[in-house]
Amino acid sequence: MSNHGPKYQLYDQFAQVAKALSHPHKLELLELLAQRERSVEALAKVAGLTVANTSRHLQQLRRAGLVASRKEGLYVFYQVADDDVIDLLRSLRRTGQRHIAEVNEVVVGYFIDRDSLEPISRKELMQRSKDGLVTILDVRPSEEYDVGHIPGAINIPLEEIGQHLASLPKDQDVIAYCRGEYCVLAFEAVATLRKKGFSARRLEEGYPEWKAAGLPVEGIES
């Protein structure tokens, strides 16, 4: 049997997708694009990469069908191809944590040490929000919040939390979320709030997963 029949050809294409994900910078760029469309230059600035390296990574992701692009004047803008990409990233994270010891060591050593409490689930958050029992806090940058956010969430970027403590209630839980399950912003926000006497917890995942699950959103995307 030929190694180059239709089954082999399919697996070869699937392998191209896997290859496109085989760099931490590419995964970070996808996480950033899951929040909103961005130009190459904006992505490079947020990710701390050169424009040339960012562009190269994005072109490889585009060839694999993971991102889409458009040109506006002198600038090229990228966005994730669809919600399947977000689901793929979520599955990759979960598989890595369950089956690779080093991943679990990082999760326990960095993230769990900062927040050992069980995060709140999407289902629980929806019910408690409906009952008026929580304050939902989006700690992403304001431009990401404006594009889309969980209904009822207020936006206080992480670096501004100290300036807005008086606007947060101490008589109910504050639920913080950001870009994804391992987004440092939410962990740091919860730690800061607890030190100031607030009852704070994290959402189990972030805005992209919320949106990909078909749950209601507010903002430009709604």
The secondary element (H helix, E strand) that includes residue 136 is: strand 134-138
The secondary element (H helix, E strand) that includes residue 144 is: helix 142-147
Backbone dihedral angles phi then psi of residue 27, each to the nearest 5 degrees: -65, -40
23: CB partners within 8 A, 6+ apart: 57
Q: Are strands 38-39 and 75-80 parallel, antiparallel or unpaired?
A: antiparallel
Active site residue 183: no
Question: Rounded to an integer, what distance in angstroms lies between the CA atom of residue 161 and that of residue 180?
Answer: 19
Which is the catalytic residue, given 20, 125, 178, 193? 178
Question: Rounded to an integer, what distance in angstroms lies between the CA atom of residue 181 and that of residue 187?
Answer: 10
Tokens 């997963």 sit on residue? 209
Catalytic residues: 178
